[in-house]
Amino acid sequence: MIRERFVETIISLGSSIEKERNVPEAIRLLRRHRRIEVTNVSRFFESAPVGGPPGAPDFFNAAVIARTDLSPSELREELRHIEDVLGRKRTDDKNAPRTIDLDIAYYGDLVAEFEDWRIPDPDAATTAYVAVPIADVAPDWIDPRTKKTAYDLMRLADDGGEPVRPVSAIRLASPYQSRGPEDFDPAGDVYAPQLEALVRAQLLELGENPDRQGLARTPLRVAKALDFLTNGYSTSLDDVVNDAIFDAEGADELVLVKDIEYYSMCEHHMLPFFGRAAVAYIPRGKIIGISKVARIVDLYARRLQVQERLTNQIADALMEVLEPLGVGVVIEGQHLCMMMRGVQKQDSATVTSAMRGTFKKDARTRAEFLDLAGIGRARR
């Protein structure tokens, strides 16, 4: 769960160069950052350039709500790094076209001045192309200087006579969606330029021709596949649980969800391992939606993993969100790094367990769980 030291922040995004790609890609990179937890994203808005050269392209703008334990200066540095990754070239002209612009609009209720920047960003209260996306994603956010809501500031903001127009009604708020909407992924576009370039370099290193017909779109497909298979990095336990915890006074018997299929990737060879998980707990006045148990398994499985750690992370997560009398987790896995290479034992399987509370202390409870789970008895 979110610790006390995390601060809620709003980050403004803008792009006028390859904006259909760069705004979603910037959001994807924010979601991938280990110390930035994106919780919501505005719609995309289009606005005319302000003070740029004649014929300059229009901008896409958006706003992201995130939680972070980075200090304001550290967060700004990480945002600058993402700008560098996306090819931002800084000039003395603040209105010049750019691939991406990432600014801290708000950092909690902090009001501070730094060497050449301020929090809150003054534009958040005065400029429509910044204020509108913020009001879209956080209308009730209170500006610590004016004490007005983001919605009120949006109504007062100067649009320079040019309206700020929503581009798409599609939001990127889903914690299970770590990429831009379909509208921004036409066949001729790219998805994750850095990752795709690395895949292309791998193909060349293997002696392949990445431009031949069968491989022409492989870097794109691999980037998308890896994004999905490792989206546990961009999802939090809070996102998964999503308030699906209910009072259940008198419920004090074992709850078991078994035969949960999972797929993960070993961190040593980046090859898949997969199998079944059984997860049980004994409530202490609270229960969790059954589907959320499977979601928690996926949350930790969709990262580079070792099976032992995966088992413990699932057990610890349930202990954290439910504070039950105990938790038991048993996982069976088949590892392609062992089946396809190395000893090449195709029929091998690994079983790991994690016991917490009553399951660890009481042999009868543990035996009941293992008997009901039935993992390892009969292979499918």
For the question of residue 269 being annotated catalytic, the response is: yes
Determine which one of 177, 307, 313, 334 is catalytic: 307
Determine which one of 267, 308, 320, 323 is catalytic: 267
For the question of residue 83 being annotated catalytic, the response is: no
For the question of residue 335 being annotated catalytic, the response is: yes
CB 319 within 8 A of CB 265: no
Residue 45, H or E segment:
strand 44-47
Using CA atoms, how far apart are residues 271 and 304, in angstroms rounded to an integer? 9
CB 297 within 8 A of CB 318: no
Determine which one of 8, 20, 337, 368 is catalytic: 337
Using CA atoms, how far apart are residues 155 and 131, in angstroms rounded to an integer? 9
Determine which one of 78, 266, 305, 313 is catalytic: 266
Exposed, middle or buried: residue 129 (CB in 10 Å: 0-12, 13-18, 19+)?
buried
Give the contacts of 295 (CB within 8 A, at least 6 positions apart). Answer: 240
Buried b (16+ CB within 10 A) or exposed e, 279-294: bbbbbbebbbeeebbb
Using CA atoms, how far apart are residues 353 and 302, in angstroms rounded to an integer? 19
Instruction: Provide the β-strand partners of residue 196.
Output: none
Instruction: Provide the β-strand partners of residue 59.
Output: 47
For the question of residue 77 being annotated catalytic, the response is: no
Q: Angle at the Cα of 297 (from 296 to 299), degrees rounded to 5? A: 60
Dihedral in degrees, nearest 10, Cα atoms 178, 182, 184, 188:
110
Give which of 172, 267, 188, 178 is closest to 220, Cα–Cα. 188
Using CA atoms, how far apart are residues 266 and 223, in angstroms rounded to an integer? 18
Q: Which residue has the tokens 């229960």?
A: 287
- Cα end-to-end span (Å), the chain: 35
For the question of residue 202 being annotated catalytic, the response is: no
Residues in the chain: 380
Q: Angle at the Cα of 376 (from 373 to 380), degrees rounded to 5? A: 100
For the question of residue 323 being annotated catalytic, the response is: no
Determine which one of 25, 37, 313, 335 is catalytic: 335
CB 129 within 8 A of CB 138: no
For the question of residue 33 being annotated catalytic, the response is: no
Determine which one of 81, 194, 261, 268 is catalytic: 268
Question: Which residues form the catalytic set?
Answer: 266-269, 307, 335, 337
